[in-house]
Amino acid sequence: MTEPHWQRSSYCEAASSCINLATSADAIHLRESDTPETVLSPTRQRLRPLISGIKAGNFDRAGAPAS
């Protein structure tokens, strides 16, 4: 398998821990910049609910203290 072309969000600062993304014919590959050896490769069908939730703002308060 060829090494994927990893991309980083333009919102990520150079020294920050960021999520990197690469695609292939059957999956989207995700890794954290701090641990690039760990790669998650969900199918597009499995990743769709997460992307929909992000777009809907369901995770905007992730990590915020409970009110």
Q: What is the pLDDT of residues 1-28, one digit of tens each?
A: 577 889 987 778 766 778 899 998 888 8
Averaged pLDDT, 45-58 = 89
- Helix (H) / strand (E) element for 38: namely strand 35-40
Whether 36 is in a domain gets the answer yes
What is the tally of structural domains in the chain?
1
Q: Are 45 and 27 in contact (CB under 8 A)?
A: no
What is residue 44's predicted lDDT score, i.e. its pLDDT? Answer: 85
Whether 52 is in a domain gets the answer yes
Whether 42 is in a domain gets the answer yes
pLDDT in tens, 22-45: 998 888 899 988 888 999 999 888
Domain hosting 16: range is 7-56
The encoded tokens of residue 6 equal 């990893």
Give the span between the Cα atoms of 49 and 67, in whole angstroms: 26
**What's this model's pTM, rounded to 2 decimal places?**
0.65
Residue with tokens 């929909």, as numbered in its chain = 52
Whether 50 is in a domain gets the answer yes
Give the span between the Cα atoms of 14 and 17, in whole angstroms: 8
Whether 63 is in a domain gets the answer no
- Name which of 51, 53, 27, 26 is nearest 40 in CA terms: 27
